[in-house]
Structure formats: C-alpha cells, structure tokens
Amino acid sequence: MLRVIVNGAYGRMGCEVMKAVWNSGDMELVGAVDSAGTGTDIGTLIGVAHTGIILENNLEEMLRRLRPDVAVDFTTPHVVYQNCITCIKCGVRPVVGTTGMSSGQIQEVINLSQELGVGGLIAPNFAIGALLMIKFATEAARHMPNVEIIELHHDQKIDAPSGTAIKTAEAICEQRGDFQQGLATQFENITGARGGKFNGGIRIHSVRLPGLVAHQEVIFGGLGQTLTIKHDSINRESFMPGVLLGIRKAMHLERVVYGLDKLLFD
C-alpha cells in the first residue's frame, strides 16, 4: 500500500482527493493537513464514519513523524512552493495540483528534487481530457498558428490565468517557434480587454463565475475558418483518475516532473 497524506485537505480538491485515495484499494490515507479545520476527523469530510485521522496544521512535523511515500498538495498559490521544498527536504514525494507557482519556482523545485533524488509531480491539470486538449491544440498550431485561449473557472479561484492555460500556451509556443501573431500596435479602451499577452502574442482570457468548474477553449483562426478545441471539467471527480495515476507514477521517478502529460504520452 502507498502511504499518502493530503495537504489542503479541508479544501474542495483536498476532500475529493482524500475520497479517491480512501477508495483506491492500493493506497492508504495516513494523514491530512490544512490551515483550516484543525482537529476535524476526516470522516466528516469524505462521508464515512469516524476514521481516527485528524486534520493537523503542521506539514513538516507530519512528514517527519509519519514518513509517507507521497504528499498530495491542493493548497494555495502562496504556500505551494514552500510546501514542495519542505516535502523534498524531508524525502517525501510531492504530487502537486496547486497552480500559481512561477516558472522559476517550478524549476527550483525540479533542481532540488534532482539534487536530492526525490521523485514527484507538478501537474497544472490532472484531467486526462484536458491533457488531450493540450496535445491536440499543439498539433493544430503546426497548421494554424494564430490562436487565442479562453479559460473559465469558478469565482473562488485566486490566480489567473490558469496553470492549464499557461501550459497550453507554452506547448503551442514550442511548436510554432518564433511566430508572432496580431497587430504590433493595438490599443484597449478598457485595460485588459484583449486579455493577458503570452509569448509570441498569444492572448489568454480568464473568466471567473459561480457555476463554472474548470473549462478551456483554444480557438485557432485561419483564412475563412476557425477551429475550436474545448474541454470541460464538469465536477472535481474529473481530476481524480489523473491524481491517482500521478501518485502511482511518482513512486518510480527520481526527480519532480512538470506535467502529467510527460508521464502519459512521452
């Protein structure tokens, strides 16, 4: 059995991950951390009777005491970098869904993991369909390099644009090289009207509304035609097969990998 702890366990994703690990058959949920809800028996969060696993609020202390195989992280952009460093220094594999780390921070985490030989995964999106969307969009960019991205999420998401949108834009940029799109000079009557500008002029537009979960459209424009590649996560369960796969795969890695796609398609 893989021994797993969940950080951010009191949050929306953390609860869903605890349920998935609890029901997995090959993993044991051994601990739960969150800055909120300390003292709660996690049974009340995952809809089972008393489990004896009590929410705690000190990640490092738990890692040193329980020595889990994997620490899953669905916390917040402000703390995720430090959480990764703490896990790696404690020799525990981080499997991270929290978005919002800068590319510099991700690289530092990867470097440290390589130095200390600790495997792990940072995945901006665990939904298999979303990874296929990025793969298909990357292929489409070879033939239709003019593209804009619209990502849509629930209104409690604090970072923008989404990690998935950034990952999509990065993959497209890699594919189309130095291509520059759009007018060199444009003006906005309302600041931000054209969205955020990624490398090569790829515009990313972020929508935040109640009722949404996680959605993205990648729109390609060509002469007299458009192509839209769209993915919708309609609930948080959509991420769970990918999270469980990520936990299992992390056990065989010797450094942190960025993107579940690297473990699925490469």
Which residue numbers are catalytic?
153, 157
Query: Rounded CA gap, 16 and 235, in Å?
Result: 10
Query: Does residue 116 belong to the site contacting ligand NAP (CB under 6 A)?
Result: no
Q: In terms of CB distance, is 61 or 115 closer to ligand NAP?
A: 61
Site string for ligand NAP, 173-212 (x = CB under 6 A): ----------------------------------------
Structure tokens at 144: 């239709």
Report which secondary-structure segment, H or E, holds 142. Answer: helix 128-143
Regarding 75 and contact with ligand NAP (CB under 6 A), the answer is yes
State both tokens at 24: 């997995």
Of residues 194 and 262, the one with the C-beta less far from ligand NAP: 262
Q: Is 74 in the site for ligand NAP (CB under 6 A)?
A: yes
Q: Please give the single-letter amino acid code of residue 151.
A: E
CA separation, residue 216 to residues 76, 92, 114, 131, 199 (Å) = 21, 32, 32, 11, 19
**Smallest gap, in angstroms, from Cβ of residue 146 to ligand NAP?**
28
How far apart CA 258 and CA 122 sit, in angstroms, is: 5
CB of 111 to ligand NAP, least distance (A): 21
State how far the Cα of 194 lies from the Cα of 203, in Å rounded to an integer. 7
7 contributes a contact to ligand NAP by CB under 6 A: yes
Q: Which of 2, 5, 6, 13 binds ligand NAP (CB under 6 A)?
A: 13
Among 167, 239, 250, 263, binds ligand NAP (CB under 6 A): 239
In terms of DSSP bridges, do strands 214-222 and 146-153 run parallel, antiparallel, or are they unpaired?
Answer: antiparallel
Q: Which of 8, 68, 161, 195 binds ligand NAP (CB under 6 A)?
A: 8
Query: Per rule CB under 6 A, is residue 11 in the interface with ligand NAP?
Result: yes
Q: Is residue 24 a contact point for ligand NAP (CB under 6 A)? A: no
Query: Under the criterion CB under 6 A, does residue 97 sit at the interface with ligand NAP?
Result: yes
Q: How far is the CB of 138 from ligand NAP (least distance, A)?
A: 18
Q: Is 133 exposed, middle or buried (0-12, 13-18, 19+ CB in 10 A)?
A: buried
Which chain residues interact with ligand NAP by CB under 6 A? 7-8, 10-14, 33-36, 74-77, 79, 97-100, 123-126, 157, 214, 239
